[in-house]
Amino acid sequence: MNKYEITKRIEHFAPVETAEVWDCVGYMVDTDKTDVSKIMLCLTVTEDIIKQAKEQNCDMIISHHPCFYTPLEWKDIDIYSAHTNLDRAKNGTTDTLIHKLGFEPQKNGNDYLRFVDLEQPIEIEEFVKQLKKFSPNLRYVNNKNVNSIKRIAFCAGSGSDFLKEAQIEGANALVTGDLKFHTAVDAEIVVFDIGHFESEILVLPTIEALINKDIEIIYAEEKSPFIY
């Protein structure tokens, strides 16, 4: 299958022009080959991922995180990344996380923030149980000793910088993947840190669905670099 047809499908879903200006999206490596027969999906391209792709005869790697620095030895395999454009897209990275919890996201405020307004408040302990189903190493702060929450803000990946906006928008809690220490200290609402890896790895099946069943797709073996 033509690789540009594949990436065209992704870009229709998550237009590259919606990415942040500092971001590096699209082709990280664009070889002179156009036809691909096997793609590896991953969150982050590493030397190990490259090795896995080559050992399994993949022609292309599609990742969420871009390669801000691409070593020369990687130049013989196509690498394409959809990053902040995928975060921003409807049913993209953060929406996938929300759907995994069985909720429907609402978009307001910053494009990266999504909100869920529950019909009935949920107890903190119950919500923690839900989050731990796919993030066993969950950590959270509850400086105000809140017992239940009703309006929840979500931002997969690094969402600490959106805490104040979540508070302004009336959220009782923020679910993200990278909680900074000083953000935790200053938080006036409950903040759940489910892990950067855990919050974003869920989006890979969304990418697979965009490509459809026209080509063989495999998932890289990867895990969070943190040891708990």
Q: Where are the domains of the chain?
A: 3-86+201-219, 88-199
88-199: CATH, from 3.60.15.10, 3.30.470.30, 3.30.420.40, 3.40.1390.30: 3.40.1390.30
User: Given this model, what pLDDT does residue 75 score?
Assistant: 79
Place domain 3-86+201-219 in its CATH homologous superfamily.
Answer: NIF3 (NGG1p interacting factor 3)-like (3.40.1390.30)
**Beta carbons of 93 and 203 less than 8 angstroms apart:** yes
Beta strands 216-219 and 114-123, pairing class: unpaired
Q: How confident is the model at residue 71 (pLDDT cuts 50, 70, 90)?
A: low
Q: What CA dihedral angle connects 43, 203, 86 and 21, to 10 degrees?
A: -30
The structure tokens listed for 131 are 């989050």
Whether the predicted pLDDT of 109 surpasses 70: no
Laid out side by side, the sheet with 190-193 consists of 106-107, 114-123, 148-155, 173-176, 190-193, 139-141
Give pTM, 2 decimals. Answer: 0.93
Q: How confident is the model at residue 214 (pLDDT cuts 50, 70, 90)?
A: confident
Q: How far is Cα 86 from Cα 84, in angstroms, rounded to an integer?
A: 5
> Can you tell me the mean pLDDT for 49-56?
96
Contacts of 71 (CB under 8 A, 6+ apart): none
